[in-house]
Amino acid sequence: MSRFLATLLESATTTERGMSTGDPADPDRRTWNQVHETARGLADALRRGADGAPALRPGDAVGVLAGAPASIAPLAQAVWMSAGSITMLHQPTARTDLGQWAEDTVGVLGMVDARMVLLGPPFDGLAPVLTERGIPFRILEELRGDPTTVSPDAAAADEDDTALLQLTSGSTAEPKAVRITHRNLHANIAAMREAARLEAGRDVMVSWLPLFHDMGMVGFLTIPMVSGLECVIVTPVDFLSRPLVWAELISRHRGTVTAAPNFAYAVLARSLARAEGPLDLSSLRIALNGAEPVDPAVVRSFVDAGAPFGLRPESVMCAYGMAETALGVAFAPVETGLAVDEIDADALENGRRAVPGTGRSFPLLGPPLPGIEARVVGESGEVLGTRGVGAIQLRGESVTPGYLTVDGPLATRDADGWFDTGDEGYRVDDGQVVVCGRRKDVIIMGGRNIYPTDIERAAAEADGVRAGNVVAVRLPAGEGRRRESFAVAVEARTADDEAEAVLIRKDVTSRVVAAVGVRPARVEVLPPGTLPKTPSGKLRRAATADLLRTL
């Protein structure tokens, strides 16, 4: 029996709370019971199949290409009630090459062995592309079924059945999906609810996050749906078109919990600094910052910009998460705000020790969530003590059993159940986790370990550089270089003005040298929209390195 499904079904039938979606100015609200009724009808239609589209069977995987939260919520329930799994497909944008997208999508569907694609607004128009490629699909708005024929049963799925196949943020040409089981979802959702102190009678969750990303799909659709929490969900397009809508929704709906990657708080801070009119952010008790490195300067600018509207500094919650644990790994203690660990730069770079001092600072990301064990391991495999810097490993019911890749399944855990995250970091005296960066991205110069985030934060302070659009990449020895070095790529609206670009390059170089003591081998100033990003908006370091090779 699936504990995740049992909790979902209980919540769906016993609460009057629900979700508000659609036009931010005039949202459509449906109770979770109404969502569940729709889900039962969808489950009936999916199980019966249709001309040209197979019936959904237990264990089947389906790809989902839809953007409307109101469509995705009942669809997810329907698939889970039928013991199937969901893969939220990468969504094409106006700039996407549809031919290449279709080719990549065919590869993803084959990798996850998807039985069909479920197509919903605003992507219905892609039906001819799928037909041309021979991909079976069904249009969500055409699914009609009888909800009375479906009797939901938590025993339909087992704990180790797959519920979600979450595509990672890497290259679409070499896709990889994290296999998230019913056990993983139940364990991680329960842990996050406890750590965030979520209460159904109190909390209102507000989000614009994409549902093809784990923070949106698990954090702000599945958690409220399973827990019977009130939620307000708009789309990324709503936020990107007018960032202030995020704050307006929190104010209007008395939102208590929200979340976003660091770059979004930088964008919102700029909008709040210019905002006029009535906004009340005093209801917000959790503004979770995660999914990418947390920049303390961005957090402070967000807090400062929100203060006139009642935003409390203690509402900021720095977090550590990944799809490999369904979503959450560690949350900073509730309502404590940003806490930063100041350490000696020389000890970190040369001795791999996080000794209290000056020169480097990292946000404290909180202790591991209940049920998750974390340890830090040295280069020889030894478990390190407090403030030893090494590889972060995790163990617990939240941790995925493996990936699906184009070359077949790939296990993630060793014989003792430990998963190597690929991140470098350390633990402090009270057990909180600190992440320094990705191990593969560390730049080694003169025996020093330099983290790209330190370089990026310094470069971002240069005049004219677009906030959240800076990437530092490692340049290995070879190709005319006698030693390892690094390059910095920044976006600027004045990139096409060579005189302005020269000034920005000089400013970036000066700030980087002042921050880390070494000079970048190269600084590129690029027009807005040039830096490669994932579908969820995160910068892609490896793809940026590939881009720089072509310039």
Assess contact for 384 and 171: CB atoms under 8 A: no
Q: What is the pLDDT of residue 191?
A: 97
pLDDT-derived band at 18, boundaries 50, 70, 90: very high
User: Tokens at residue 27, please?
Assistant: 């949202």
Tokens 């896709």 found at: 175
Which of 57-66, 159-168, 271-280, 527-536 is the least confident region?
527-536
> Is the pLDDT confidence value at 126 over 60?
yes
3-13+20-194: in CATH 3.40.50.12780:
yes
pLDDT of res. 103: 78
Under 8 Å between Cβ of 491 and 465 = yes
Which CATH fold would you assign to the domain 339-396+420-441? Luciferase; domain 3 (2.30.38)
How would you classify residue 366: left for phi > 0, otherwise alpha for psi between -120 and 50, otherwise beta?
A: left
Per residue in 474-505, pLDDT tens? Answer: 887 666 666 778 899 999 999 888 988 899 99
Q: Where along the chain do its domains lie? A: 3-13+20-194, 339-396+420-441, 445-550
CB 395, CB 417: distance < 8 Å = yes
Percent of the chain exceeding pLDDT 70 equals 97
Is residue 49 within 8 Å of 55, Cβ to Cβ? yes
Per-residue model confidence as pLDDT tens digits over 409-450: 999 999 999 999 999 999 999 999 999 988 888 887 766 778
The residues near 385 (Cβ < 8 Å, ≥ 6 apart) are none
**pTM for this structure?**
0.87
Which residue type, as a one-letter code, is found at position 348?
L
The DSSP secondary structure of 245-284, one letter per residue, reads HHHHHHHHHT--EEEE-HHHHHHHHHHHHH--S----TT-
Q: How far from the centroid of its chain's Cα atoms is residue 472's Cα?
A: 20
pLDDT of residue 441: 80
How sure is the predictor about 375, in pLDDT bands with cuts at 50, 70 and 90? very high
Q: Looking at this protein, which amino acid is placed at residue 223?
A: I
Under the banding of pLDDT at 50, 70 and 90, the label for residue 454 is confident
d(CA 5, CA 468): 38
Lowest mean pLDDT among 15-29, 91-105, 303-317, 482-496: 91-105
216 DSSP 8-state letter: I
Q: Contact 349/462 with Cβ under 8 angstroms?
A: no
Record: fold of 445-550: GMP Synthetase; Chain A, domain 3 (3.30.300)
Taking residues 341-369, what's their average pLDDT? 92
Output the pLDDT for position 326.
Answer: 96
